[in-house]
Amino acid sequence: MVLDSAALDRAALERDDRDTRLWFWGWMGFYTGGAALEGTVAGLADDRGDRRQALVSAAGCTLGIGGLLIGSVWPGVDVPPPDAPPLEIRRALEAQADREAAAFGWFGHTANALVGVGGSLYLWLGLNRPGMALINLPVSIGIGELQIWTTPTHSRDRVSELAGARRPAP
């Protein structure tokens, strides 16, 4: 059976709807759990340096939550009903593809790097813990980049596929 273009567009939106919910709430749970754990560690630490170090981690997790909340990809993708006109489905697909592309933009990568560098500089210069700063930097940036690069992209991929299909043969 050959599916028409609108059905393929709608299928991409449905996959994005499912995967975006899993992605968003998975990362929200990860950051919330990390903030709660590090906040608890900070509250229980006897040493002032350990307490501040845990607060740096809790702040990084809290900023991760903030990044999700201000980000362009949210759970609950707008999927038109099956009987919607093909143009409405295509517009919804393109709008979702634009949101997905924005998630990979310079702002997220820059904010991620600033959080990692800022926390690491505080650990090194403010708390005199260079070893922890050298561990924090790649871990913090790595987690943020993992969040960015695992963003669901079914709609963006479908739009790219359509653009490739429209290109004339060389």
Q: CA dist 146 to 5, 37, 134, 152, Å?
A: 32, 21, 19, 12
> How is the chain split into domains, by residue range?
5-159
| DSSP strands (E only) in the chain | none
Residue 36 reports pLDDT greater than 60: yes
Q: What is the pTM of this model?
A: 0.89
pLDDT digits (tens, 9 = 90+) for 146-158: 999 999 999 999 9
Q: Are 27 and 64 in contact (CB under 8 A)?
A: yes
Average pLDDT of span 78-95: 94
Average pLDDT of span 26-53: 96
